[in-house]
Amino acid sequence: MPRILSVASALPPHRVGQEEAKTFARGMFSRGHGDFERLLPIFDNVHVENRYFCVPVEWFERDHTFPEKNALYVEHALDLSEKAARRALDRVGAGPDEVGAIFFVSTTGISTPSIDSKLIFRLGLSEHTRRVPIWGLGCSAGAAGIARAAEHARLYPDQLILLVAVELSGLTFQRGDRSKSNLISTSLFADGAAAVLLGGTTGPEVLGSYSTTWPDTEAVMGWDLVETGLKVQLSKSVPIIVREKFRDNLEEACNSLGLDFDEIKHFVLHPGGSKVLDAFEEALGLQEGGLTTSRDVLRDCGNMSSVTVLFILERFLEGGEFAKDELGVLSAMGPGFSAEHVFFRC
């Protein structure tokens, strides 16, 4: 079975505290939004304290075309991806010649050739490195990326497989959109990158994965493509779906892989937002504090879409609060509406 050799993260340079974000939102959304003051507590209720962006806050005060936004995406996505990938390789002393394939996941910008093609030469990987870019899975892509990369690693046990996730959610900001969905996004989403190196003989062992897409749920989450770029589509039903479906789905996943649900000791869960984390704890019967690492990453960095669960995995592994052979699951939900579970043994 493939193992998770290392996980590394990278943040862009522009930190925005939540009070600064709230001040920005008051200036941006209060004009023509009669419910703004009633909705403003959203910025406190999401339990985010800091976020990081690839552009300064002044950038959000001006209008930008989709081509302009996307050009910034290509530039900064490549730089952040390189930082995260180099850190993942350096942490285990792995050379670029050991990497046989690169999986790249993102949903907040578009590039053809995809970012991974450029990253190959930035990192000094072989020109014969296999490329697997995956676009459109949103928040679930970090988990799905590990799952697909691990499946590939099983086919090539003598090679290392590199997963890179990058999201620049800030660049999708729609200045003229006064909707509640855009206000929530402004309070929650952020930029970041992470990389995972799989293969070898040390680190948590990936046991298997399980994917689900539920019917008639396309409208829960996604993008609308408008003249100024990607406009967020976000439903308030996500916590409800978590409460109604998550535990049963996770038990199905365990049964399909011959694992015992009650044996799971560690939950590495993409937070979505604080209400989603509350729903996870309720669905799983976890005591308060059972998802501390997820809450800490949400507080410190915001929701970085696919990248977030990899930040949580990095902190979980660095914390070392687990025993050998304990069972864990890494899970994320995203557009589709979908869930992805990756089971690992410490």
Q: Catalytic positions, please?
A: 139
8-state DSSP, 205: E
Q: Do residues 316 and 270 lie in contact, with contact meaning Cβ atoms separated by under 8 Å? A: no
Determine contact, residues 160/5, Cβ cutoff 8 Å: yes
Categorise residue 33: left if φ over 0, alpha if ψ from -120 to 50, beta otherwise: beta
Burial group, residue 216, by CB count within 10 angstroms (0-12, 13-18, 19+): exposed
Q: Which amino acid is located at 275 in the chain?
A: K
Q: In the numeric block, which tokens belong to residue 180?
A: 């509640």
Per-residue burial over 154-187, b if 16 or more Cβ lie within 10 Å, else e, is: eeeeebbbbbbbbbbbbbbbbeebbeebbbbbbb
Instruction: Show Cβ contacts of residue 91 under 8 Å, excluding neighbours closer than 6 positions.
Output: 6, 8, 197
Residues 160, 77, 133, CA angle at the centre, nearest 5°?
A: 50
Beta strands in 183-318 (DSSP E): 191-198, 205-213, 221-226, 229-234, 264-269
> Is residue 120 exposed (0-12), middle (13-18) or buried (19+ Cβ within 10 Å)?
buried
Q: DSSP assignment of 164-183, as one string?
A: EEEEEGGGG--TT--SHHHH
